[in-house]
A and B are shown apart, each in its own frame.
Chain A
Amino acid sequence: MKRDVAIEINGTLYERTIEPRMLLSDFIRHEARLTGTHVGCEHGVCGACTIQLDGEPVRSCILFAVQADRHSVRTVEALTADLDGELHPLQQAFHEQHALQCGFCTAGFLMSIEPLLATPERLEDDAEIREALSGNLCRCTGYQNIVNAVRDAAQRMREPAK
């Protein structure tokens, strides 16, 4: 039986009537038409579909959309929402450090790391950065440039607004 849901995504409320089996990743892409969230393995391994549910990074392909009813979802589109065409500092760091090639996995990486930039001191050494990145797969880069980008972004968050 279909259900009525009201899911807030990036500050916009999406009210739909959906089957319980619809994955949240499909709701985001097909109902909300936000295609920045990519779907890779669709069984919770690759991390490409990572979004934030109530502020916590989770995989949207192993959540049902009905489970996000009356919850708040943030996707990669939110990173630049208020930036007037600029990139988010994390995206800027990815750009400068060549932390992507094909880019398919990038949105997932960004959504996993972005909340951690609130406490950049926890991203001080590479072991911590690698642990934070461990849930996202990238088939192009070999990861070193992604580690560099996260280190760079954490540095920027620590330094600027003094």
Chain B
Amino acid sequence: MKPSAFEYETPERTDEALELLARDPEETKVLAGGQSLVPLLNFRLARPDRLVDLNGVGELAYLRRDDGALRIGAMTRQATLERSSIVEERWPLLKQAIRLVAHPQIRNRGTVGGSAAHADPAAELPVALTALDATFHIRSARGSRAVPARDFFLQPLMSAIEPGELLVEIETLPMAANSGTAFVEYARRHGDFALGGAAVVLEHEDDGSIGRAAIALLGAGPTPLRASAAEAALVGATVDEASAAEVAALAVEDVRPTGDIHGSAEYRQGLLRSLVRQALLQAAQVPRAA
């Protein structure tokens, strides 16, 4: 339960971190909050030659509103997001999701960027960020690029970040007025990885119908999945018990979750349907004050 030896680097600026990553990209791991990486190191499931610790890079820890968008520095602690009144008011889905991430002690240390980069299929933040169509800003010594959420999460524990690259910022656009959001999941014990979950954003029109909907699923596949057919079916509709059940059935129609000791594939699909239905009803009930 002790990690194997590694070289340890402590850059203080982003540029410095990028130079260090460029030196030996394949054998270097980035250490952010360490709440997933260090357990892997302790178990020796990961044995990188070198760690680049970003905790001294103060310029990567920020929450900024910029022209209505929210810019989250990759090293922003999850607890910072949780305590932000701007996030609570303007991007309530993120607050709803973060409350379900592990436990307070983990959120004090864990970072938003780390959770995204780790790309765990059972993690809440990637699902919320997928529902919000977030953009992931990535830099390397060679330059920078922006990756939309749908192209960011590739496989379990694999994101679009290449060796030598660094996730520096996550950007989410402003939410429309009269939006309602909900994040619902089911875990055996509070704080455990969930067996299934759903993030929903509903943009309400003045007449009470839905103008736009986003539904992202947790635990439905190897990455967060968007339920596009269900989203399309909601446009122009109103959400009530009957339509929520119908749309939820549509949302899980084509998903094939992997069954395991914690729940069969069939059980998980049924669970997801129920969670989507609940999330739709919750998001329909809480139109945000404009």
Chain A interface (Cβ within 8 Å of chain B)?
1, 3, 19-21, 23, 26, 42-45, 47, 50, 53, 56-59, 61-64, 66-67, 112, 130-132, 134-135
A112 touches B105 (CB 8 A): yes
Given contacts A44-B38, A62-B38, whether A135 and B103 have CB atoms under 8 Å apart is: yes
- B70 interface contact, C-beta 8 A: no
**Are A135 and B1 within 8 A (Cβ)?**
no
The reply to whether B5 and A135 form a contact with Cβ atoms under 8 Å apart is no
Asked whether A135 lies within 8 Å of B6 as measured between CB atoms, the reply is no
Q: Which of B24-63 contact A (CB under 8 A)?
A: 34-35, 38-39, 41-43, 51, 53, 55
Consensus secondary structure, chain A interface: mixed
Say yes or no for B2: interface residue by CB 8 A criterion.
yes
Q: Is B190 an interface residue when CB atoms closer than 8 A count as contact?
A: yes
Q: Provide the residues of chain A in CB contact with B1, threshold 8 Å.
A: 42-43
State whether B108 touches A43 (Cβ < 8 A).
no
Which residues of chain B from 152 to 183 have a CB within 8 Å of any chain A CB? none
Q: Which residue of A lies closest to B1 (CB)?
A: A42
Name the CB-closest residue of A to B43: A43
Among A3, A59, A130, the most chain B Cβ lie within 10 Å of the Cβ of: A59
Smallest Cβ distance from A51 to chain B, in angstroms?
A: 10
Our pick among B8, B41, B105 for the contact of A59 (Cβ within 8 Å) is B105
CB–CB A20/B43 < 8 A? no
Which residues from chain B sit less than 8 Å from chain A, CB to CB?
1-8, 10, 34-35, 38-39, 41-43, 51, 53, 55, 79, 102-106, 108-109, 190-191
Whether A58 lies near B2 (C-beta < 8 A) is no
CA distance A63 to B109 in the complex (A): 9
Q: Which residues of A contact B4 (CB under 8 A)?
A: 21
11 contacts between A and B (CB under 8 A): A20-B5, A21-B5, A42-B1, A42-B42, A43-B1, A56-B109, A59-B106, A62-B109, A64-B34, A66-B10, A134-B104
Contact of A135 among B10, B34, B105 (CB under 8 A): B105
| A56, B38: Cβ atoms closer than 8 Å | no
Q: Contacts A42-B42, A62-B39; is A132 near B6 (CB within 8 Å)?
A: no
Given contacts A57-B104, A58-B105, A59-B105, contact A135 B42 (CB under 8 A): no
Q: Which 6 A-B pairs have the closest CB atoms?
A: A135-B103, A20-B8, A62-B38, A43-B39, A42-B1, A56-B108
Additional A-B contacts beyond A57-B108, A134-B191 (9; CB < 8 A): A23-B2, A43-B42, A44-B106, A53-B109, A59-B106, A62-B42, A64-B8, A134-B104, A135-B191
Q: Complex formed: what's the CA distance from A26 to B4 in Å?
A: 15
Across the interface, name the chain B residue whose C-beta is closest to A41.
Answer: B1
Residues of A within 8 A of B79 (CB): 56
Residues of A contacting B35 with CB < 8 Å?
A: 44, 62
Given contacts A21-B3, A21-B6, A135-B103, contact A44 B39 (CB under 8 A): yes
Residues of A within 8 A of B104 (CB): 57, 112, 131-132, 134-135
Q: Which of B2, B34, B105 contacts A57 (CB 8 A)?
A: B105
Decide: A67 near B53, CB < 8 A? Known: A3-B8, A42-B1.
yes
Taking CB atoms, residues of chain B closer than 8 Å to A57 are 104-105, 108
List B contacts of A130 (CB < 8 A).
190
- Name the contact of B38 in the complex, choosing from A63, A66, A131 (C-beta under 8 A): A63
Question: What is the CB-to-nearest-CB distance from B192 to chain A, in angstroms, rounded to a whole number?
Answer: 10
Given contacts A20-B7, A42-B42, A47-B103, contact A134 B109 (CB under 8 A): no
Give the CA-CA distance A41 to B79 in the complex, in Å. 23
Considering only CB atoms, which chain A residue lies closest to B109 in the complex?
A: A58
Hey, which chain A residues are within 8 Å of B5, CB to CB? 19-21
Residue from A44, A47, A57, A59 with most neighbouring chain B CB atoms (10 Å): A44
> Given A42-B1, A44-B106, A47-B103: A66 and B43 within 8 A (CB)?
no
Chain A hits for B51, CB < 8 A: 20
